[in-house]
Structure formats: C-alpha cells, structure tokens
Amino acid sequence: MKRYITFIGVALITLVIASLLYLKFRKLDDFEPQIKGKLQKLVHDASKGLYRLDIEKINADIVGSKVIFSNVNIRYDSLVYVKLRAAKQAPADVFNIHLNSLALDGITPEDLIRKKDIHLNILLIEKPVVHVYHHQLDYERPKKETSVYDVVHKEIGSFALNSLDLKHVEFIYHHVASKVQTSFKDLNVSLKDILIDSKTQSDTTRFLYAKDATLSLKDFKHKTADSLYNFKLDSITILAAKNEVQIQSLRMEPRISKADYPKVLKSRKDRFDILIQHVVLENINWWALLADEGIYVDHAFLSKGKIEVYTDRTLPSNETKLGNYPHQQLFKTDLPIGIKKIDAADFDISYIERNPKTLKTGGLDFISTQATLTNITNIPSWIKKDEQFKIDATTRFMDEGKLKVGFRFNLRRQKEGIFSVSAEMGPMSGLKLNKATIGLAAVEIKQANFTHLKVDINGNNVEGKGKILVTYSDLKVDVLKKDDKGKFKKRGLITFIANNFKIKQQNPKKGEKAKAVNAYYKKPPEKSFFALIWKTIFAGVKESAGL
C-alpha cells in the first residue's frame, strides 16, 4: 500500500512541478516542447527507463493563475521490465496511469521567481485511470524508503495545497500470475489542507499529508479467487480526520446455489452467505495500515446482519479443519492485528446441514443476536497483557429460547486450540427443534417443554468435554423413516418403544434434583469448531434423555 501511494504521489508532484516550471518559462515564450522533453527525461531517468511520460497538451492562463495538463499518460515499458527482472532489480508492482486532465489553480509567475516554498489553491484531477500489475517475484528486492517529501524538497522547499480532488477514479489491480482482477470503478478522493515538509512526513495526525480527507467508493464488486463468491459493497466512506470508516451493505454472496453445490464441488466445503447492513470502524491507525505494519482499530460496530452457513454432508470430507478455530484464524497472517472491541447488534445466524442418510436438511437458528468481542489480536505484547480473546453474546435460540453464551479463547495456547464456552438458556417449546431433528435425525418432537439448559465445555483441537444440565417435561417423539416417495412417515413400533421404554419423558423425575451429566466428543479432523460445540452439547442432552 505504501509503495503505491509513494509512486502515485511522486507522479502527481512531478506533474505539479512541471506546471510550475511551465508558468515560469511562459513569461518569456511558449516553451511547451522543452518542458515536455525535460519531464519525459526526468521520468525516464528516475525509473531507470522503466516508465515513460506522454502529455498531449499544456494550457496556461497567466492572468488567472491556472494551468491544465490534458491527456496525460505514464506507462511502464514491458521490455525494460523483463530486463530488470532478469537482473533481479524489477519491482513486484508496475503501473499505467492515465489522466484526462489535471487542473492547477493558485500560482503566479511572480511567486515562482521570488518564492522557494509553494502554496497552491486547488488541484483537480478528472477521471484518472490507474492500472496496477502485480507480479510474483522469485527474489526479495531491497526496500528503498523514498517519501514524497524526499522528491519534493530537491526541487522546492515545501509544498502546500488547500484542496486536492480526484473525481471518478478507476483503479484496476491485476494479479498477473492468477489472472485475477480487482477494480474500483467510481472512487472519489478529497484531501484538504495538504502540507509536505520535513515535519509532516512523520505527522501521524495527517492522512496522506492532509489534515482532512474523504474517500468514497460506491457499488464495489469482486469475485473471489476460488470463484465461489461475489464480495460486494454498496458504499464505503473513509473519514480520515475522524479516523473512521463507514460501510453500507457489505455482502459475501455465493455464486453457486445449494442445489448445485454437490455438482460443482468434489469434496465438502462450508457455503457462507453473509450480509451486514452497516459497519463503522473507529479510531483506525492509518499510518500503520498504509505502511503494511498492521491493522489497529479501537472499536468496530456492526449492525443488521444475516449469516447463513450451509454444509452438504453427502459430499466426501477430504479437507482437515485442524487449526481453523476463531482465535487460530488470527495467526494465519504475518500482519499484526489489534482490535480492542467489536460490537455486533441485530444479527440472525443460521446453520443448515444436509444429511447423507435422509437427504434432507435441518438447521439451527440464532435470532436477534447481540455480541461483544474483545481483545481480537495476534500481537505478542497484547497477548502478554491479556491472553484471552472473549466473545459474549445473547440471542433467541430457534427464535424462542433466550440464550446467553460466552466464549474464551486462549491466544497464548492457540496452537493447541484451547478454548472454553459457557451457556445458559431459559424455557422453550421442544417443537421448535423439529427444524433440526426431522431432517438431521429422522425424529419429530410431538411434545416437550424445555425449562433450563446450562453448558460448561472446555475444548482443544481434538476434543470437547464438560458438564451439561438440561431440564424438561412431557417429552414425546415420533421416530421417522422415508417411504418409497421420499416422504417421512412414522415408525409405529420403534416410536412406541422409544416413548415407553427408552426416553426419559421428564428430567429430573418428580421429587429428584436436577443433575448435570458429563459430556464428551472426540472431534474428527474434518469437523468444524461449531460441530465440536454442537456435538458435545448433544452428547450431554442424549445422556440426560436416556438415549
């Protein structure tokens, strides 16, 4: 990110300096060809011949203190790039930049003659198109930290600009090896009160040297590398002075329907459908982010979301899910992550599974979920102060049972997958569970009143164990089987045996005290974190019900 900004900044400053030189020479005569030649040589020499500059026309208004560059192109030379790669001197990223026009306002010939420091009024760039081509290198290129100020101060003392506006920017990122392309079609940038001098190059209160900045993007769409999803944003706005990002309608949309999933995939893989209507990130450390030094956020607020996870168990599971727990995901990147707190409000979460025996689906719903996540980090110094990543949430289980749950993830021992979960739920009708039990277990609950559920589980990469307390009354079920037409029907004898001899119709029995039972589940490598939690709880519930 930082190298992109440095390069584009250098390119823009070069054009600004060109306009200043042009005005200076214009006092005597029209030196447009000479100015173009000097600039082309400057770009050629500075890039070791990698880039070339073309300017179609320069128009100046001496009286109005304005200069306009028309149809400007900075392109890289592919033949030179091949030679630089052979010499292991080529950068990983190269650019092609096109500007329809660059308009500069607020400088006079007298200022140029007498002033070393330049203070301009407005710089307006219309419809720029920036192509970035990323190449995989088989060598590590030495880093050269060149700031925009390093370029500016060689020609002028300092550079100040009241307003920089980039309108309708088209930004296209090409990953050459994978042929994946990411594009931003309508990016708008407004920077206010820009100052480039020896002090502001390290001023963390500024964003790209500006006291205030607003970046906005609408209708962004990106296809993921595996072609399974479209990633969409209705809009994103960056308010630099407030260190804030606002996102409207963030969506990860599956490109393959549930019905077609078995036809496209050869092995089992979870299918996600995610929508978050509003996202606000507060107090972001821009300097660390732009320098690829980490993601630091004080607070994130997410609201009005829907998350659906679907898995088709008719597909073979050839992929291990070892190391995929929530806290382990934080350590899959070398980029430091430090998020103090995330608040999520009004989320509906669903888990749906297709059973290989019944060929039917069943699911669990968590409605109107409110959650707080704290200490989301992979930074050793943060972990030394607090080794727990915490999630505390409330929800309506199956849209009825009031459920309170808390997760504690051990960041210091994340390689082992150490975690704990505690949960407690109040009264709920057992009929609500039919959405899960009919399709997944071929069992229909005809009658049941659950009064209390309490869960305490400790787990790691391979197992979950703990105490489960469940109390209920009037439990009656129908055991089902599929007929020739694929429809479920009641198994009379098995149902009779289950209700009269096998299942405990209530727990505890009258006059007895409710007792928690031990629960244990050994997780196969292909099972998910959610499966470990669910299976451990289910083991305790089965024990309590006498199954």
419-446 pLDDT, tens digit per residue, is 999 999 999 999 999 999 898 888 999 9
Query: What is the C-alpha to C-alpha distance for residues 406 and 109, in angstroms, rounded to an integer?
Result: 68
Whether the predicted pLDDT of 515 surpasses 80: yes
Q: What is the pLDDT of residues 197-238, one digit of tens each?
A: 778 777 777 777 888 889 898 888 888 878 899 999 999 998
Res 139: pLDDT:
78
Lowest mean pLDDT among 58-72, 180-194, 310-324, 460-474: 58-72
Give percent above pLDDT 70 in the chain.
86
Identify the CA nearest to 378 among candidates 410, 409, 407, 411: 411
DSSP state of 331: G
CB 6 within 8 A of CB 148: yes
Torsion of CA 306, 312, 317, 318, to 10 degrees: -70
Three-state secondary structure call for residue 82: helix
Kindly indicate the confidence band of residue 110, based on its pLDDT and cuts at 50, 70 and 90: very low
Peptide bond into 508 cis (omega under 30): yes
Q: What is the pLDDT of residues 484-513, one digit of tens each?
A: 777 888 888 878 777 776 888 999 988 889
Res 76: pLDDT:
93
* Helix %, strand %, coil % of the chain (to 5): 25, 50, 25
Domain range annotation of the chain:
1-178, 321-346+367-547
Determine the residue type at 135.
Answer: H
